[in-house]
Amino acid sequence: MTTSIHGAGSAAGNSLRQGRRRPVESIVKALLVAAAFVSIITTVGIVIALAEPTIGFFRQVSIVEFVTGTSWTPTFAQKAYGVLPLVSATLVVTVIALLIAVPIGLGSAIYLSEYARPGVRKLLKPIVELLAGVPTVVYGFVALFALNPLLQKWWPADDGPAFQNLLIAGIAMGIMIVPTIASISEDSMAAVPRSLREGAYALASTKMQVSTRVVVPAAISGIVAAIVLGISRAVGETMIVTIAGGLTSDRVVINPLDGAATMTAFIANISSGDIPIGSLDYDSVFAVGALLFLITFALNAVSIRMVRRFREVYE
Amino acid sequence: MVTVTSEQLHRPNHESEVTPVNQPGTASRPAVSISAANTTDTAGHQPTSTVPVMELDGVSVFYGDYEAVRDTAMPIQEKQITAMIGPSGCGKSTILRALNRMNDLIPGARVAGSVTYHGQDLYAKDVDPIEVRRRIGMVFQKPNPFPKSIYDNVAYGPRVTGMKVDNMDDLVEKALRDAALWDEVKDKLKSSGLSLSGGQQQRLCIARTIAVRPEIILMDEPCSALDPIATAKIEDLMFELASDYTIVIVTHNMQQAARVSHYTAFFTAEVDEKQERHGRLVEFSQTGKLFTNPADKRTEDYITGRFG
């Protein structure tokens, strides 16, 4: 009896229970979850891979010496493991790069988003973004063999830039990150609602005032994100500083006209050399790598806070 | 540069060098009937002035080749509320945006005919649209406060226009009081303008507009995004403001036009021989007359709800 009642329902086709399995659905879900986990697993893997040699390094070198020492000479007979020269070179190059990239990048973003006619923007934006596709090794060579000779020629004083120097590396790096800053900033300015611009124009604003007082503040979270991404690229960029930045690391170099090794340049140089696995030199690479990782991580954390703090929510 | 005292700031800025112009020729257009004769009012406020601050004559607005509104002629009377009503697509907002050159911001938009402000052609070559918008402000359909504090929203206009302000705090308070918002926001001037309700946001936008002391305020369906209570507050406010400002309001709400305005312009959309729709001004007159004794059959059909 009962069977026939239930049977009648399902035979009539109005059962709500799942009739057929949908295997593709669950496979797709599994693939997507796996894809999401790849980046998490990679990050965890990097931390683990960095941790072991780094701990090995700090068993032999005190953290105090590492953090406060002003000479980094793992390959010299007289070995020293103070990381400040590498950090200061990285800092100098990054600051120069930002001095170039932030004004140019923001300027082009404001032009593209507020001033350029739609046709011009359609043409120019892909060209700006194309710059991001130039391999960094090309920037490095252009900096060393094309830009630096010009810089040396035009330098007004006698003691001009060295063959390799932080200034030219910073300039090349700045040009490299312009498209990153311009493109992301422009996206975030273009997302500012038209009604805000109209409101500002109706209050007798000039185009410049609309751009700088309404659009840029409303887009600031995207702009800060763009700049931080630019900083991350500058801090982590390797080819340009290896080719054009110089190798000095036995003392802290602040003068941008001199050459000095950044953290990444040191890692690239020492890794391409012939160093035995497990040696202190080998471990030192990972210690510097771990520091680089920490700095980038801290930058991201700071940027998230800054974005939250300065954001003008417009919806 | 003349220092403007706060006393002077309270008065709308009049162009002293320009003599007021009487309205010539507007009544001669056959398609439009204009009446200044008083009628027994059952709707609208009795006009208290017939000094035009702006005049439109033969105004057409084009978007590219498309003529959105054709041949509009009407005056805007000083310190009166002029309403523009009509069905969707009749060009009333387009005409409104031609009054402070907001159409300049739309690529391909062009205005033909003459729009004058105290006798000066608004579209003359040497006219600065920034100066136009300083004297003719605008409030939009959807409240659009800046994502800044309430205070900074109001102070924005005086800052960008380089107004000489003795005390910005006083100016902000005055503007917020005039916009009937002060009591609701005086304890939270530093909070975001977007933290307010829709009706409060719209009053903030009105405060922001009157902070630069324009002579004319254009309002583009200012209540269409608001509930009836907020709408009533804005309507009361409009009537208060009309003692100091000339107001032009576009509304799709006939009752609103009848309630608040002194003059009403009725627009409609016409389909021409090429099957293109164009906005046309059908009738301009005192609100009381337009609603009780319209001169044009189309106006009568619209206000009695036979179409639109």
DSSP string for B72-98? EEEEEETT-EEEEE-STTSSHHHHHHH
Which residue segment(s) compose the domain that B237 sits in? 30-143+214-303
Total tally of structural domains belonging to chain B: 1
Work out the minimum CA distance from B232 to partner chain A, whole angstroms: 23
In whole angstroms, what is the distance from residue A147 CA to residue B153 CA? 47
**What CATH number is attached to the domain comprising B86?**
3.40.50.300
Q: Is B29 on the interface with A (CB under 8 A)?
A: no
- A213 to chain B: which residues are within 8 Å by CB? 156, 159-160
Whether B8 shows a pLDDT value over 80: the answer reads no
Cβ-defined contact of A198 to B192 (cutoff 8 Å): no
Q: For the ranges A189-198, A273-282, B194-203, which has the lowest average pLDDT?
A: A273-282
Does B103 reside within a domain?
yes
Contact check, Cβ <8 Å, B146/A200: yes
Q: Which residues, 6+ apart, have CB-to-CB distance to A143 below 8 Å? A: A168, A169, A171, A172, A240, A243, A244
Residues facing B265 on adjacent strands: B84, B284
Q: What is the mean pLDDT of residues A46-56?
A: 90
Instruction: Report the percent of chain B where pLDDT is more than 90.
Output: 67
Report if residue B277 sits inside a domain: yes
B108 pLDDT above the threshold of 60: yes
pLDDT greater than 70 at residue B142: yes
- Taken in order B154, B247, B47, B120, is the CA torsion positive or negative? positive
In a domain, B187, yes or no: no
CA–CA separation, B86 vs B93, rounded Å? 10
Predicted confidence (pLDDT) at residue A268 exceeds the cutoff of 60: yes
How high is the pLDDT of residue A93?
Answer: 96
Q: What is the pLDDT of residues B148-182, one digit of tens each?
A: 999 999 999 999 999 999 999 999 999 999 999 99
Measured distance CA(B261)–CA(A190) in Å, rounded: 38
Domain topology for A84-310: MetI-like fold (1.10.3720)
**What's the whole-model pTM score?**
0.79
Query: What distances in angstroms separate CA B132 from CA B76, B122, B137, one per listed residue?
Result: 15, 7, 9
Cβ atoms of B179 and B203 within 8 Å: the answer is yes
Query: What's the CA angle centered on A107, arms A102 and A111, to 5 degrees?
Result: 155
Is the predicted pLDDT of residue B35 greater than 80, yes or no?
Answer: no
- Could you give the CA distance from residue A8 to residue A14 in angstroms, rounded to a whole number? 9
How far apart are alpha carbons A311 and A27 in whole angstroms? 40
Contact B102 A202 (CB under 8 A): yes
HEC string of chain A? Answer: CHHHHHHHHHHCCCCCCCCCCCHHHHHHHHHHHHHHHHHHHHHHHHHHHHHHHHHHHHHHCCHHHHHHCCCECCCCCCCCECCHHHHHHHHHHHHHHHHHHHHHHHHHHHHHHHHCCHHHHHHHHHHHHHHCCCCHHHHHHHHHHHHHHHHHHHCCCCCCCCCCCHHHHHHHHHHHHHHHHHHHHHHHHHCCCHHHHHHHHHCCCCHHHHHHHHHHHHCHHHHHHHHHHHHHHHHHCCHHHHHHCCCCCCCCCCCCCCCCCCHHHHHHHHHHCCCCCCCHHHHHHHHHHHHHHHHHHHHHHHHHHHHHHHCCCCC
Contact: A217, B147; criterion CB under 8 Å = yes
- At a CB cut-off of 8 Å and minimum separation 6, what does B27 contact? B34
- Which residues does A154 contact at the CB level (< 8 Å), separation at least 6? none
Indicate the residue of A193, A198, A205 with minimum beta-carbon distance to B160.
Answer: A205
Q: Does B148 map to a domain?
A: no
Is pLDDT at A271 greater than 90 in this prediction? no
Of A118, A196, A206, the CB nearest to B146: A196
Local confidence band at A23 (pLDDT 50, 70, 90 cut-offs): confident
Helices (H), chain B: 6-9, 92-98, 129-135, 150-160, 168-178, 182-185, 198-210, 228-241, 254-260, 287-292, 297-303
Chain centre distance of CA A252: 24
**Is residue B12 situated within a structural domain?**
no
pLDDT by residue (tens digit) across A145-202?
999 999 888 888 878 888 899 999 999 999 999 999 999 999 999 999 999 999 999 9
Bridge partners for A138 per DSSP: none
pLDDT band at B138 (very low <50, low <70, confident <90, very high): very high
A215 near B CB under 8 A:
no
Residue B185 resides in a domain: no
Q: Identify the bridge partners of residue A206 per DSSP, sorted by sequence position.
A: none
Give me Rg for the CA atoms of chain A.
Answer: 27
pLDDT band at B15 (very low <50, low <70, confident <90, very high): very low
For A58-105, what is each residue's pLDDT tens digit? 999 999 999 998 999 888 878 889 999 999 999 999 999 999 999 999
The alpha carbon of residue B74 is apart from the nearest alpha carbon of chain A, in Å, by 22
B248 vs A278, higher pLDDT: B248
Query: Is B280 a member of any domain?
Result: yes
pLDDT, residue A11, reads 53
